[in-house]
Structures are given as structure tokens and as C-alpha cells.
């Protein structure tokens, strides 16, 4: 039986025409098994491979109530893609995940269960706790990810084991407030928003996931994202020492 609670999945895409049919199918299966209403907001950044055209066809298959198109003129950053998609979302909870099948939709049920058990504001996937892990990365990428998270643990104390993951569930109100206070546009948005959530006293839970390197296409994480990570890292470190006034005001809203 379908329940009143609904979930909006924000799915940024760029050259994902091969992956999109699979992930939408898996998402449909998961929510059908849970008996929950859902929608997928496809935020395509003018993909040259025809991702948007594929999304339009899939919208006809799944229905316009389940596949919502929110295209943009070009690549404007991951954080801004979520802000854009949020404008189209109707759900009480927001889920963010990658469109390249690195995040298997089967874990969504675990996220929903975890959120309900602990009444969490944020539930984030972790590759570094419990049965979590990574499959398909070379040693250099593994070292970079582990090193970045260790550095964050030592100096930022974020309260989670995987600060750079991008598979998460948010209460809508929490996500709206957090995203309006972030500064990052690229992949380091994920780190900034979790650190901010902790500073603002939000409840954050974790679910172990296995991250599988993308099946089709090329990774969009490059050297520029590493530089951005370091920049935001030291910015967050500074703000932990010198918090801004709005952080105290924000805590009183939850």
C-alpha cells in the first residue's frame, strides 16, 4: 500500500544515456517493494550524448509523475544542480545519488529504514564502515579517497566515516536550509554540507554501501576537484574555529 510520505531523488546527469534506463528501472523496483511514492528529478547539463532525449523517452515509460525533467544550459557544478533540482521536487525527503550506477538503488531501503529508526535529519552512505567498500578503483584513487577522509577526520571531526560520499537522504527542510548556506558548486559540496550539518547540530546517521566504479562513460572527477577539496577543507577548518552568527540562529529552527 502506498503511504503518504514521498521521496524526491535528485539525479544530476552528464553523458549518462547508457546508464539512465538501468538506474530508473532499479529505483522503480525499490520503491515498488517499499510501497512508497517517489519521483526522480533528472537534472541534465546539456549532455552532448543525448541523455535528455533518452530521459524524455523514459518519462513516457515511467510517467511524468515519476520522471521529472529539469534540464540546464550547461555544466554549472554539482551543488547548483541540486539547488536547481530542488525547485522541482515535491517530496518530504530528498535523496541524492550518482546516475552512473556507482550507487546501487537497492541501498535506498536501508537509508529509509535508518532515517526512521533514528529520526535522522541526514543519512549518508559510507564506504568505510561495516560492510561498506569500493569496487573497481585503482590504488591511486583509493589512496586519494582514504587520505582525504583521514585528513578530514583528524582536523574537522565531522562525525561521519565517509565525508566525500554523495549517496544521501535528507529531510527536505534540513536540505533546503543547508544548501542555501553552502558555497561550493563542485564535488566538494558533499564535504561542505556534512561539516555544516554537524556545526548546526543536525542528526546525521550512516549506512554502509559498496561503491562500484561507473559501468559506462568516464569519471568526471579530476585534478580541479582535488584543489577545490583542499580549498574548502581549510575554509571549513577556519570556520570551526570562528563560527558565524547564523549557525547559532539556525540551530533553534530544528
List 42's β-bridge partners, or say none. Answer: 11, 69
Is position 29 within any domain?
yes
Residue 146 lies in a domain: yes
Entry field: residues in the chain: 254
Distance in angstroms (rounded) separating the CA atoms of residues 6 and 35: 10
Q: What is the CA radius of gyration of the chain?
A: 17
Q: Is residue 1 part of a domain?
A: no
Domain that holds residue 42: 6-251
The residue among 205, 195, 236 whose CA lies nearest residue 129 is 205
The grid coordinates of residue 169 equal: 537522504
CB 171 within 8 A of CB 93: yes
Beta bridge partners of 162: none
| 129 and 165 Cβ atoms separated by less than 8 Å | no
DSSP one-letter string for the chain: ---S-EEEEEEEESS-TTTHHHHHHHHHHHHHHHT-EEEEEEEE---TT-HHHHHHHHHHHH-TTTEEE---SS---HHHHHHHHHTT---SEEEE--SSSSS-GGGHHHHHHHHHHHT-SEEEEESSSTT-EEES--HHHHHHHHHHHHHHHHHT--SSS-SS---EEEEHHHHHHHHTT----STTHHHHHHHHHHHTT--EEEEE-EEE--SSS-----HHHHHHHHHHHHHHHHHHHS--HHHHHHHTT-
pLDDT on residue 137 = 66
In this prediction, residue 164 carries a pLDDT of 81
Cα–Cα distance for residue pair 190/194, rounded to 1 Å: 7
Domain total of the chain: 1
Say if CB 163 and CB 156 are below 8 A apart.
Answer: yes
CA distance linking residue 73 with residue 63, whole number of Å = 24
Assigned domain for 216 exists = yes
Which residues make beta-bridge pairs with 126?
A: 208
Per residue of the chain (254 residues), give pLDDT as tens. Answer: 344 569 999 999 999 999 999 999 999 999 999 999 999 999 999 999 999 999 999 999 999 999 999 999 999 888 999 999 999 999 999 999 999 999 999 999 999 999 999 999 999 999 988 888 888 767 676 677 667 767 766 666 668 888 888 999 999 999 999 999 987 766 678 888 998 999 899 999 999 999 987 555 454 444 454 445 455 555 554 554 444 544 434 444 44
The whole-model pTM stands at 0.82
At 41, which CATH number?
A: 3.90.550.10
Asked whether residue 23 is assigned to any structural domain, the reply reads yes
Amino acid at each position: 500500500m502506498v503511504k503518504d510520505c514521498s521521496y524526491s531523488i535528485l539525479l544530476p546527469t552528464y553523458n549518462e544515456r547508457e546508464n539512465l534506463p538501468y538506474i530508473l528501472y532499479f529505483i522503480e523496483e525499490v520503491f515498488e517493494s517499499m510501497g512508497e511514492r517517489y519521483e526522480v528529478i533528472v537534472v541534465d547539463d546539456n549532455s552532448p550524448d543525448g541523455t535528455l532525449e533518452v530521459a524524455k523517452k523514459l518519462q513516457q515509460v515511467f510517467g511524468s509523475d515519476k520522471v521529472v525533467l529539469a534540464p540546464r544550459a550547461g555544466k554549472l557544478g554539482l551543488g547548483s544542480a541540486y539547488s536547481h533540482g530542488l525547485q522541482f521536487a515535491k517530496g518530504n525527503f530528498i535523496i541524492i545519488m550518482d546516475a552512473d550506477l556507482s550507487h546501487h538503488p537497492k541501498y535506498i531501503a536501508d537509508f529509509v529504514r535508518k532515517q526512521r529508526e533514528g529520526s535522522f535529519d541526514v543519512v549518508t552512505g559510507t564506504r568505510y564502515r561495516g560492510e561498506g567498500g569500493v569496487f573497481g578503483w585503482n590504488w591511486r584513487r583509493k589512496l586519494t579517497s582514504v587520505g582525504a577522509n583521514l585528513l578530514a577526520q583528524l582536523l574537522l571531526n565531522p562525525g561521519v566515516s565517509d565525508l566525500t560520499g554523495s549517496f544521501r537522504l535528507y529531510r527536505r527542510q534540513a536540505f533546503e536550509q543547508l544548501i542555501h548556506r553552502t558555497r561550493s558548486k563542485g564535488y566538494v559540496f558533499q564535504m561542505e554540507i556534512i561539516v555544516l550539518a554537524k556545526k548546526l547540530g543536525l542528526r546525521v546517521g550512516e549506512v554502509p554501501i559498496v561503491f562500484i566504479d561507473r559501468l559506462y562513460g568516464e569519471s568526471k572527477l579530476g585534478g580541479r576537484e582535488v584543489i577545490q577539496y583542499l580549498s574548502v577543507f581549510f575554509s571549513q577548518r577556519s570556520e570551526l574555529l570562528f563560527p558565524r552568527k547564523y549557525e547559532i540562529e539556525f540551530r533553534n529552527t530544528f
